[in-house]
Every structure is written in structure tokens, then in C-alpha cells.
Structure 1
Amino acid sequence: MTAPAGAAAPLQSGIGVEGPERLRRGAWGTTWLLLTFMLVNFADKTVMGLAADPIRDELGLTRGEFGTAQSAFFALFSLAALGVSFLTRRIRTTVLLLGMALLWSVAQLPMLLGAAGFGTLLATRVLLGAAEGPAAPVAVHHLHGWFGQKERTLPTAVLMVGAAGGVAVSAPLLTVVIDGWGWRWAFGIVGLVGLVWALCWYVRGEEGPLAPARGRAASDRGSSASVPYRGLLLSGTWLTAAFGAFAAYWLLSAGLTWAPDYLHEVSGLSLKQSGAVVTATAIGNAVVLLGHGLLARRASRKETAPKLPVGLGGGVVMCGAALSIATFAEVDAVAVKIALMVGPMALTNVILTMSQTAVARIAPSGQRGVALGALAFVYALAGILSPLVTGRMVDAASSVPTGYHSAYLLMAGLVAAAGVLAVCFLRPEKDAMRLGVPETPAVGHSCALSRRWWPV
């Protein structure tokens, strides 16, 4: 008999029943490994922003050309995210994550060569983006194979902390590397660290008990029923989550690329001071994400608590963040700008967790990877547009401060629109009921661990 849509896939036979404590350790052990995965992922992205001035000076690039190089990272990012998401229906996520880590690590190393110039930079950024594009959706899909629906917000938030933590950890370290060894070694260091993670994952990585069945095994045991992709991807929840993540990623990508330059050129900070502010901002982002995850877990455990629409709280937070971004653009005091970057502007990141868990709620387990990959396809477009548009706006303006002022007001408008849409249309429970997708239960005593490396 076919299982209901969204239900956990039938567990593999012959593996043995695991105790809840073993499953809990496996779930959180996987969470920490994937957190490290995301730390390395965003350290890769941070290099370009931190080394912007020496790269432009040595290669003779304008801000527009440098923005083009940064946008090259996202040339195949979206397509790779969508394409690999379909592979999750046939190939184990353990294999996919290992392959991505190896590919993106190798892509960094050519920039160690002194002869590597602008063309090599463009080519390696395209390859790096193709390898990293599927990273977040595949990692979230893998992680959700370990946690039931009500348990997912906190581990998803921990995973998203990798974005902030990657910047917080890498910014001071890479700044030292750039100052001491030159910007080329910053690329080399993150590439080598990625290879170390790949080795650890090969040894320890495994899928969880709620991972969907794949390939012939799915046919033999009966897979979870599907819903039409048209209904899934055109639902109010998916569309709103996609736009909200797009707006948040626009701000994030602009910050990774241009925040050090802004702090140096507009606010008059040194490279080391700018790196310290970027680090403090990343820590603020991490605190916001973890705080939201902990509050969501606490609320989910209060079964008698009134259930407000998910989008209401998220939308209000996004509107508050938009106001903070607009204030950041208008004020001149450096201390106020730094306080806004570290605090209220970081609230934008809440939508990154909310969008992932909302989309996972409305998708059956067998289609979750594709739904998350399509989400990444949309928000990654911001990674293409944001650095390029911001760089061109600054180059075209009468002065650098004027160009950045307009760019940050544009960011505020996008985030505000995302907040309003979330209040009105982000309704995962309602859309899940309409699509016939039941809630995924928590991992229980009868769940068994999946095999690690067989692709089907």
C-alpha cells in the first residue's frame, strides 16, 4: 500500500532497530558536521570581499569589473542548485555533499599561481559557484532526514548559522593571511580546509532514518506519494518563501562583497577595522538565527499555546529590519551604522530559516530536495544581481557615498516588500493541508539508520 504524501519513507530492512539515544546523537552529530560544511562554504564566499582592494589593485579592476567577477560565482549557482536537487531523488545526499566539497575545494587552488589573472578568477568563480550552489538545499534536505517536522527549526537555524559563522571565523583569520601572505593564499587556505572537511564527511557522514527511499528501493518498498509540482511551487507559501529568501540573500551577498569596501571608503575604517566589523556583524547574525531557533523550539513544545500564523511574526521582523537598513543608509555616525549592522539589520536572516522549514512542511519527503533546490534557484539569483547591481550603482553615481546610499535604500525596499508578503501569504500549515501533506513525525524508537554510501 502506498504511504500518505509526505510520510516518512519505509525504513530499510536488515539494519537493526536503533535506540532513541543513538538516534539523537546521530542527528546532532550530523548537524554539527553540516554546520562545519556551511562554515567552509561561506568562508569561500568571504574571500572576495575581504581581499577586494588588493585584488583590484593587483589585477587593475574597476568596481564594476570586480562586481562582475563576484557575480560570476553565481553564473551556474542557481542552475546547479536546481539540477542537483533532482539528483536527490536517485543519489544519496551523503555522496552529493562529498562531491560538492571536493569540487569547490579544488576550484580555489588555481588562484595560488602567480600567473592566474582576471580570466582565471572568472573561471574558478564559475566552477566554485556550480559546486556550492546545491550546498544549502542538499544539506537542509539531508538534515531533515534526521528530524521530524516540529523538531526542524532549531537544527535548521544551526545550519544557517554556518553562513554567519563562516564569516565570523574566516574574516579575522583571512585578514591576517591577506596581510601576511597575500590575497592568493586566502584562496588556497579555504581550499585546503574544504579538503579536510571532505575527508571527515567520508568517514562519518550518513543519512538519517527519515531520509526518503530512492530508485529501485523506493519502488520495491513503496515510496511516499507525490503532489503536483505546479501546485507546490505556485503555492502562496513557496512563492513568499522564495521572495523572502531572495531579499535576504540580496542583502547578504551585497554585504559579503561590498561591506568591507563601504566601511573603508565611506566610513574611513582600515582593512583590519573593517574585518572586525564584518566579524561582529556575522556574530550578530548567528545570535539572531540561534535565538529564533530556540524560541521556535520552545513554542513547538507548548501544545496548548495559541498558534499564530507563521508569516505574521516573520513579516513583522522583516519590516523592522527594512527600517533599520534604511536608517543605516541615512545616518552618518559610524558608531550608529555599526550598531545597526550588528543588531537590527541581522533580523533579516530570520527569513532564511523560516523559508527552509516552511517549504519542507509543504513538500512530501521524496520531493523535499527538489522543492528546496527550486527555492535555492530563486534566492541565488540575488547572488548574481546584488554584487553586480551594487557595483554598477556605485560606479555610476556622482560619488562613492551617494552610490552606496542608493544601493542600501534598494535593499531596504526589497526586505520591506518581503515582510509584507510574509504577513499576507506565508501559511505553510494551511497550504500543507490543501496539498494533502501530513506532518512528518518525530524520530521514534522504531527508526533505523540508513546506509551511508550506496547511491540507490
Structure 2
Amino acid sequence: MTQHTTAWRTTWALLGFMLVNFADKAVMGLAAQPIMDDLGLTREEFGTASAAFFALFSVSALAVSYLTRKVRTTVLLLVLALLWAAAQLPMLWSAAGFGTLVATRVLLGAAEGPATPLATHHLHGWFGQRERTLPTAVLLTGAAAGVAVAAPTLTLVIDRFGWRWAFGVVGLAGLVWAGYWALRGAEGPYAPDSPDSPESKYAGTVLVPYRRILLSGTWLSAAFGAFAAYWMLSAGLTWMPDYLEEVAGLSLHQAGTVVTFAALANGVVLVGHGLLVHRRSRPPLGAGTGALMCLAAGAVALFALTDAVWLKVLLMLGPMALANIVITVAQTACARITPAPQRGVVLGALAFVYALAGVLSPLTVGRVVDAAATVEAGYRAAFLLSAVLLAVTGLLAVWRLRPERDGRRLADGRPDADRPSWALDAAPEATSGPGTAFRP
């Protein structure tokens, strides 16, 4: 089997990894109503259980980013998949209640926090720099595809076997993937060496104080924008099925179908945006991304205010999906302003900020809905809050998201540095001797 074939086999395997990852996330939202009915939970209590998923999410992402210096990513990915299964299968036990639900969501979040960066890191070990765009796009579609596959499948499972078996199915899927990976997973030929090694291509790179990077306009606007988008994403995963049933009047099957197509729309938007950016050498990150966020904010506000179900569905399948673009752009922009050896920590800090939305959003929405005079009024207020967050951070992105400018300033303090920040990355097969300075 050729290296190219093995590389793409690894890509499809990691796509499966991401499918399981996001199916794990979606199960709570899809089973929201039967869980609350069976366990006697209020929406605030259910929101607490959903928010528990993110209790250790960002902390584990940072911790594992340091482990990659000592432990092969093949082993780390296997451990994560096994932990996912361990976190889901206990809910099959008929006596498992609210306490078990919260505990297992904490464990699942700790195991899923590092999933996306670790999978991307491993995938890039199989492709040279110029070949990474397409496989990375395939990997990232796993987020949308995972929800799209999970929604109809788990809805059927819930209908026929009960909500506990929805947890069982995703737990078993994690075990199946882990078994395959134990047999076929391997490190790629472009797996990076340790930047601490004297032989590393990054040896001698001039580092930038983290304080300067994290206080730059680009990092701050990227972090706040990703926070707002993740707020909307987390609220949707947790509460959208319940909203579609309780407010829009859809059946469980209809709600699952809408969630499926909305997830597919998210995937189309992300891939389409990625292909568009790939064709442009210098995309207008600040203005373009900020404008898309403001458009998404308007769509979310209209979604909250309109009574037309067809319009709500149409907004979910298009304009509202634009909010997710900033999560990808934020990572790209922060990578551009950061020296390669420091990139993992900076991106980990970015994940730490936007993952806070995963804690706050489900809990806040649950409290707002429970405190309102009616369920409909509560959800309207919650969605309008999301729209305000997207609009404010979108305007901030227009103003301050300037990776080219900030990359040059961080490099040498001069706005007319010789090389643009997008030229920072060295291809894995390239070499550079000691004394190489950080040139964005």
C-alpha cells in the first residue's frame, strides 16, 4: 500500500473519529425532552447537565497539547475514543440518574476537548504542507456530518428503544472506532519533531512573549468572535430540538430532520468558505468575517421574532450557519500571528476562551426559558441575546481582526516587515538552521 493511499485511509478514519465526536455532543439535545420527562428535570437542571460537558473541556485541551511532545498522537487518539465510550455506556443502566448524567458529561467533555486539535495535528503528519488543504477540509466536515448522521439515527433509536439506548449507541460506536484504530492507526512521515530538539527545524526561532500575542487585536477579536459563535452552536446542540418541538410545534421526527439538514448546511457553508478562501491569497479576514457574523446575527434575531415555521427552517439552513465560519477563521488568524513553536499554546488559549461559551450557553438559556412567563418568550429572549453577541463581536472583528498587520508588528515591531504572516509555516520537508527568527 502506497503512502498516499495510507494517508487518505487515515483521513477517512479520522473523519469517522469526528463523526463519533459530534454524535456524542448531539445526543443530549436530541434526547432532551424524554430525559427531562423521565428524570423529572427542569430546563435549568438539564442545562446544568449539558454545561457539565465543558467543565474540563478547555483544560484538557491545553494539557493534551503538552502531552503531544512526549506521547504519540496515535496512542492519544485511541485513549480519547475509549474514554468516550466509558462516558456514554453507564447511562444504559436503568438506575443512572441526574448525578450519573452530570458525572459522565464531565468525563466526556474532558475526553473530547482535545479531539479536534489532536486529530488535525495527527492528520498533518501524513501530508506535506501543500497537500493539507483538502484532507483538512474533509476532517472538519466531520463536525457537521456527525450531527447530520446522528440526528436521524438517534431519533429512531429514541423512538423505538428509549433515550438510554441513544447513549449506548454512540458509546458502542466509540468502541468500534477504537478497535479499528488500535489495528490500523499509525504516525505519518511528516509528524513534527519536538521544537525543543536541537535538530528541530524550529531550533533557534525567536519567540514572542505570550502577553503580546494574547493582547493583540487579532487574538482578542478572534477569541471573542469564536466565543459568540460557540455560544450559538452550544445553545443549538442543546436546545434546538426542544425549541422546534415546544415552540415551533414539530414532532420529534420532524425536529430531528430539521436538525439534520441544518447540520448539512453548516458543512456546506464551512467547505464553501474554505474553498473560497483557498482561491484568494489575501482574504479580507476582518471585514469579511465581521460582515458574515453581522448577517448571521440578523438571521438569528429574525428567527427569534418570526412566527412562520417555514422561515425559521430557511434561516437555519442558510444565514444562521454563517456564524460558524468565525471559529475556523479565528484559528487561522491566530496561527498567522504566532511563531510555530508557540502555536499550540496560543490555539489552546483560544479554545479555552470559546469553550467557556459551552459552559455558559446551555445553562443561561435554560435559566432564561425557565424564568420567562412562557417557553416561547424565554426562547425568544435567549435567541435575541445570541444575536446581540454575534453582532457586537462581528463589529469587533471588522475593527480589530488584522492578522497580517499584527503578525508584522509582533515579528519586529515595524509595520513594514519584509514577509507577510501567511509565509510563517515551514513545510515539514523543509529545513532551517539555528538562528532562524520569527518571520510572520
TM-score, normalised on structure 2? 0.89
Q: Is the CA contact (8 Å cut-off) linking 1:141 and 1:369 kept in structure 2?
A: no
Residue 293 of structure 1: how far off its partner (Å): 1.4
Letter of the structure 1 residue corresponding to residue 400 of structure 2: F
Q: Give the structure 2 partner of residue 383 of structure 1.
A: 358
2:152 pairs with 1:167: no
Aligned residue among 276, 282, 306 for 2:257: 276
What's the CA shift for 1:238? 1.9
| Residue 125 in structure 1 maps to residue 105 in structure 2 | yes
Q: Which residue of 1 aligns with 2:60?
A: 80
**8 Å Cα contact 2:339-2:424 kept in structure 1:** no
- Deviations along 1:398-424, one digit per CA (max 9) or x if unpaired, are 110100001001111111122112222
Contact 2:228/2:389 (<8 A) preserved: yes
Q: Distance in 1 between matches of 2:201 and 2:279?
A: 35
The one of 101, 105, 108 aligned to 2:81: 101
User: Is the Cα–Cα contact under 8 Å of residues 273 and 325 in structure 2 kept in the other structure?
Assistant: yes
Partner of residue 225 from structure 2, selected from 239, 244, 260: 244
The residue that corresponds to 2:69 in the other structure is 89
Deviation string 1:271-303 (CA, Å, 9 cap, x unpaired) is 001001100100110110111111122224xxx
Aligned to 1:200: 180
Q: Deviations over 1:45-100 (max 9, x none)?
A: 11111111111111111111111111111111121122222223333322222221
Q: 1:246 is matched by which residue type in structure 2?
A: F
Distance 1:28 1:439 in 2: 26
Matched, 1:262 2:243: yes
- Other-structure match for 2:398: 423
Matched AA of 1:187: F
Q: Helix, strand or coil for the counterpart of 1:299? A: coil
Distance 1:317 1:80 in 2: 31
How many aligned residue pairs are there?
419
Identity of aligned residues (%): 66
Q: Answer whether contact 2:54 2:109 (CA < 8 A) is retained.
A: yes
Partner of 1:373: 348
1:102 and 1:387 mapped to 2: Cα distance? 26
Q: Would the alpha carbon gap of residues 223 and 308 (structure 1) be closer, same or farther in structure 2, given more than 3 Å must change?
A: closer
Kindly tell me: are residues 247 and 29 of structure 1, through their superposed partners in 2, closer, same or farther at Cα, counting changes over 3 Å? Answer: farther
Q: Does 1:55 align with 2:28?
A: no
Q: Within 2, Cα distance between the matches of 1:334 and 1:417?
A: 27
RMSD: 2.3
Give 1:434 deviation, angstroms: 3.0
Tell me the alpha carbon deviations over residues 12-33 of structure 1, each in whole angstroms, 9 at most, x when there is no partner.
Answer: xxxxxxxxx9665555444333
Between the aligned partners of 1:435 and 1:29, the Cα distance in structure 2 is: 39
Distance change (3 Å), C-alpha of 1:121 and 1:66: same
Change (3 A) 1:23 1:227: farther
The one-letter code sitting in structure 1 at the alignment partner of 2:395 is V
SS of the counterpart of 2:307?
A: coil
Q: Counterpart of 2:280 in 1: which secondary structure?
A: helix
User: Do the aligned partners of residues 130 and 223 (structure 1) sit closer, same or farther apart at CA in structure 2, a change above 3 Å counting?
Assistant: same
Match of 2:310 among 325, 335, 339: 335
Change (3 A) 1:77 1:33: same
Alignment of 1:235 onto 2:216: yes
C-alpha contact (below 8 Å) 2:290/2:393 kept by paired residues: yes
In the other structure, the counterpart of 1:397 is 372
TM-score (structure 1 length as normaliser): 0.86
CA contact (8 A) 1:31 1:143 kept: yes
Q: Secondary structure at the match of 2:279?
A: helix
In 2, distance between residues paired with 1:29 and 1:421? 41
CA–CA distance in structure 2, aligned partners of residues 147 and 435 of structure 1: 29
Following superposition, the deviation at residue 150 of structure 1 comes to: 6.8
Change (3 A) 1:439 1:50: same
**Residues 432 and 202 of structure 1: is their aligned pair in 2 closer, same or farther, counting only changes over 3 Å?**
farther
Contact 2:230–2:355, Cα closer than 8 Å, also in 1: yes
Please name the residue that 1:410 is paired with: 385
Mapped partners of 1:261, 1:313: distance in 2: 33
CA contact (8 A) 1:251 1:411 kept: yes
Q: Residues 368, 101 of structure 1: CA spacing in aligned structure 2 closer, same or farther, 3 A cutoff?
A: farther
Counterpart CA distance in 1 for 2:126 and 2:236 is: 32
Aligned in 2, Cα 1:432/1:94: closer, same or farther, shift over 3 Å? farther
> In 2, distance between residues paired with 1:428 and 1:194?
38
1:232-251 per-residue CA deviation (whole Å, 9 max, x = no partner) reads 22222222221111111111
- Distance in 2 between residues matched to 1:152 and 1:381, nearest whole Å: 29
Measured after TM superposition, the shift of residue 441 of structure 1 is 4.3
